[in-house]
């Protein structure tokens, strides 16, 4: 995405500095929701979490591709980061369960190898698409990849035999507590004077 930012800034009438948030907000959402997404996958099933993440990633790629404003791209990139957060912590567990113990390590190594090649080829492919077709093609390319991944996952990953319990939603929400708690001590939030005075006593 770095190579696409100047062209994107020109088309969306924004600045390259402002559009740095296209990358930053994705990484922030990915890092912030990775632990809760892994917990949700443990509760509701890794198959559901993985397919939901792939679907969310693909849908938000469409909205990023057709976005008319820089703010819209940034907003959907944040949601795209949430979708990616459901993919990364879950796919290793899916591969571990899908292959025998002797073959799972090879499958995981192959998956990481493909991911490494993708990271290496990403700037080259993204730069070529931006210069020849346009920056929107970078997001359009992700749509068929997400669709193929979703169909393959839906066909090959086995459905879980157990259903989530009635308290699963409570456990899932509680896993987001580290994301919510910092807002309770946001700078500028006024504390209770009575509580402060009693604590001093």
Report the pLDDT value the prediction gives residue 160, as an integer from 0 to 100: 63
C-beta separation of 34 from 88 below 8 A: yes
- Provide the residue range defining the domain that includes 108: 2-200
Mean predicted confidence (pLDDT) in 142-160: 87
Q: Residue 188, by phi and psi: left (phi above 0), alpha (psi -120 to 50) or beta?
A: left
pLDDT of 100 above 80: no
* CA 158 vs CA 99, 100, 154: distances in Å: 12, 14, 8
pLDDT of 196 above 90: no
Percent of the chain past pLDDT 90, that is, above it, reads 33
pLDDT of 20 above 50: yes
pLDDT of 195 above 50: no
| pTM attached to this predicted model | 0.75
DSSP summary character for residue 188: T
Query: What's the CATH number where 59 sits?
Result: 1.20.1250.20
Backbone phi, then psi, for 95, in 5-degree steps? Answer: -65, -40
Q: Which residue has the higher pLDDT, 90 or 135?
A: 135
> In the chain, how many domains are there?
1
Band of pLDDT at residue 89, cut at 50, 70 and 90: confident
C-beta separation of 47 from 94 below 8 A: yes
Mean pLDDT (the chain) is 79
Largest CA distance in the chain: 70
Instruction: Give the whole-angstrom CA distance, residue 30 versus residue 38.
Output: 12
Summarize pLDDT for 43-87 with one digit per residue, the tens. 888 888 999 999 999 999 999 999 999 999 999 999 999 999 998
């Amino acid at each position: 995405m770095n190579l696409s930012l100047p062209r994107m800034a020109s088309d969306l009438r924004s600045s390259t500095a402002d559009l740095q948030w296209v990358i930053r907000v994705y990484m922030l959402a990915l890092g912030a929701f990775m632990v809760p997404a892994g917990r949700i996958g443990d509760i509701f099933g890794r198959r559901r979490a993985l397919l939901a993440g792939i679907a969310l990633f693909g849908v938000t790629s469409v909205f990023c591709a057709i976005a008319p404003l820089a703010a819209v791209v940034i907003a959907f990139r944040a949601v795209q980061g949430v979708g990616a957060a459901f993919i990364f912590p879950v796919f290793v567990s899916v591969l571990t369960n899908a292959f025998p113990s002797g073959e799972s390590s090879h499958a995981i190594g192959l998956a990481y190898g493909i991911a490494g090649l993708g990271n290496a080829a990403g700037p080259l492919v993204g730069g070529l698409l931006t210069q020849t077709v346009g920056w929107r093609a970078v997001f359009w390319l992700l749509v068929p990849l997400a669709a193929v991944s979703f169909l393959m996952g839906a066909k090959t990953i086995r459905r879980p035999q157990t259903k989530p319990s009635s308290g699963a939603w409570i456990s899932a929400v509680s896993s987001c507590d580290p994301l919510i708690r910092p807002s309770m001590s946001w700078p500028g939030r006024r504390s209770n004077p009575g509580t402060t005075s009693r604590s001093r006593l």
